């Protein structure tokens, strides 16, 4: 097939060489845009310099340069990384490319970390491509003798002490789910998002999701549309384009005015939807402690999509201003709405088959903390935490990849020591102007 014009924008941020690589048939080498908008459009709309989650060098080329063998042979370090999630992968590939001797450990048999859960979410199928790209990079770096892969290998502090050849230890062990203090939280019907997205536990038809941040919305969307009879996780090229266009009222023939399906416009005005109901047949209740719209903190340019998808399904109920009272012996969730708000206070029992906890994360700092208490603290001077292990928050791959890339480029600097190893781009002129203009809005 031929086209008169092909328009692309974000893909050039992810990989500025996408055209030449495509033309030469080197598609495995393309760093694929995952369509997240987190570092490009979300930045642009608040005056920040645009960049890219999967390529933090984008628009920062004058301050970040990943050049092959740019580290002088006399300054090359032996670096071991524990964890092959987004942070560990970004550090490992960057450090190995510029010349350091890298060993990458992970107790799992495959790379990707939390991305292996994210790629299962409807609408995030492109995350498969990021893992594919990192696998390609690692394979080439390993062939060149720049990196040693040790998957299926768990690392302890004893291992770290015993290996005296390592100059720096990079801890990228990620996060654990945070368990809220609710009476009855240990009931067998209570699951974590890891149980659902990683361990393959099947949820019932009536589900309560505690927490309405990014993970809560992801889990709700997964439960809503994932058919338990289908164990296959779709990739981006397996999505039915016609179904997608119909779901969002887009005329694929471009014959209708504005490219919109007229029935979709009419239904939208009437508050109706042509989108199919829950594929899984589940009814989901999402809950958050804060008063206000659920999903308010989602991406500026993509949050509305997640909220709309769940709302259009007619299978998701969203409750705010929730106090969690208890989980009873039957596994039902007792809540108080608007506690302390006089006549608006209301007690409810949410009868469910399962409760999925998506109430934040805590950093896995075991290796760092143990290193500080043994070997006279000598080991601690070699240990640097990155990504979720450094700062949990939401599962922020943008922050993790950016931090790890920047640290890998500076790790040989004697001034870079544990505790003073996080670097970020300065505030640009656009952001300063944006913040100034906001004062008058």
Within 10 angstroms of residue 82's Cβ, the number of other Cβ atoms is 27
CA distances from 410 to 147, 192, 356, 413, 416 (A): 18, 37, 40, 6, 7
Residue-wise pLDDT for 190-248, tens only, equals 999 999 999 999 999 999 999 999 999 999 999 998 877 767 788 888 888 888 888 88
Question: What gap in Å lies between CA 55 and CA 52, rounded to an integer?
Answer: 5
Question: Percent of the chain scored above 90 by pLDDT?
Answer: 77
In sequence order, what are the beta bridge partners of 175?
363
Please determine, for residue 388, whether its predicted confidence score (pLDDT) is greater than 70.
yes
No. of H helices and E strands in the chain? 15, 15
pLDDT-derived band at 428 (thresholds 50, 70, 90) equals confident
Please determine, for residue 1, whether its predicted confidence score (pLDDT) is greater than 90.
no
Please determine, for residue 90, whether its predicted confidence score (pLDDT) is greater than 50.
yes
pLDDT attached to residue 377: 77
Are 11 and 18 within 8 A, CB to CB? Answer: yes
Average the pLDDT over 297-303 and give the result. Answer: 91
In 163-317, alpha helices (H): 193-197, 214-225, 241-247, 262-269, 303-312
Residue-wise pLDDT for 163-177, tens only, equals 999 999 999 999 999
Please determine, for residue 122, whether its predicted confidence score (pLDDT) is greater than 50.
yes
pLDDT attached to residue 427: 85
Please determine, for residue 299, whether its predicted confidence score (pLDDT) is greater than 60.
yes
pLDDT-derived band at 432 (thresholds 50, 70, 90) equals confident
Residue-wise pLDDT for 400-415, tens only, equals 999 999 999 999 999 9
* Whole-structure pTM value: 0.92
Are 13 and 58 within 8 A, CB to CB? Answer: yes
In sequence order, what are the beta bridge partners of 81?
104, 170
Q: Tokens for 387?
A: 């990504």
Q: Tokens for 137?
A: 């990079």
Please determine, for residue 345, whether its predicted confidence score (pLDDT) is greater than 70.
yes
Angle at Cα 53 formed by Cα 47 and Cα 54, nearest 5°?
145
Segment holding 93, helix H or strand E: helix 86-98
Q: Tokens for 112?
A: 């990707």
Are 362 and 175 within 8 A, CB to CB? Answer: yes
Around 89, how many Cα atoms within 13 Å sit in the side-chain half-sphere?
A: 25
């Amino acid at each position: 097939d031929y086209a008169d014009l092909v328009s692309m924008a974000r893909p050039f941020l992810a990989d500025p060489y996408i055209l030449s690589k495509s033309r030469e048939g080197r598609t495995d080498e393309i760093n694929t845009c995952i369509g997240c908008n987190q570092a490009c459009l979300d930045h642009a709309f608040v005056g920040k310099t645009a960049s890219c989650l999967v390529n933090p060098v984008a628009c920062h080329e004058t301050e970040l340069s990943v050049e092959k063998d740019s580290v002088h042979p006399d300054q090359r370090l032996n670096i071991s990384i524990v964890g092959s999630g987004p942070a560990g992968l970004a550090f490992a590939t960057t450090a190995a490319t510029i010349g350091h001797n890298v060993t990458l450990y992970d107790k799992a048999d495959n790379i990707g970390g939390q991305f292996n859960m994210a790629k299962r979410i409807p609408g995030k199928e492109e995350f498969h491509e990021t893992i594919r790209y990192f696998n390609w990079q690692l394979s080439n770096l390993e062939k060149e003798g720049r990196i040693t892969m040790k998957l299926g290998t768990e690392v302890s502090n004893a291992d770290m002490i015993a290996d005296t050849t390592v100059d720096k230890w990079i801890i990228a062990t990620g996060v654990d789910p945070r368990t809220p203090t609710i009476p009855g939280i240990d009931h067998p019907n209570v699951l974590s998002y890891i149980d659902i997205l990683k361990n393959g536990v099947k949820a019932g038809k009536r589900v309560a999701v505690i927490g309405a941040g990014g993970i809560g919305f992801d889990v709700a969307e997964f439960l809503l549309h994932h058919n338990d009879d289908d164990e296959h996780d779709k990739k981006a090229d397996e999505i039915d384009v016609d179904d997608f266009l119909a779901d969002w009222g887009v005329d694929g023939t471009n014959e209708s005015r504005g490219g919109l399906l007229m029935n979709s416009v009419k239904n939208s005005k009437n508050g109706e939807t042509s989108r199919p109901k829950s594929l899984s047949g589940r009814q989901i209740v999402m809950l958050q402690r804060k008063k206000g719209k659920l999903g308010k903190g989602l991406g500026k340019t993509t949050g509305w999509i997640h909220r709309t998808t769940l709302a259009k399904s007619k299978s998701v109920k969203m409750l705010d201003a929730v106090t969690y009272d208890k989980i009873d012996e039957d596994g039902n969730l007792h809540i108080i709405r608007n506690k302390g708000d006089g006549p608006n206070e209301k007690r409810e029992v949410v009868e469910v088959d399962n409760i999925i906890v998506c109430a934040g994360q805590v950093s896995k700092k075991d290796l760092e903390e143990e290193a500080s208490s043994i070997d006279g603290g000598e080991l601690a001077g070699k240990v640097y935490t990155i990504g979720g292990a450094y700062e949990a928050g939401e599962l922020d791959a943008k922050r993790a990849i950016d931090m790890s890339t920047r640290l890998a480029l500076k790790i040989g600097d004697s001034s870079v020591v544990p505790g003073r190893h996080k670097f970020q781009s300065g505030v640009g002129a656009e952001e300063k102007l944006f913040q100034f203009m906001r004062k008058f809005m």
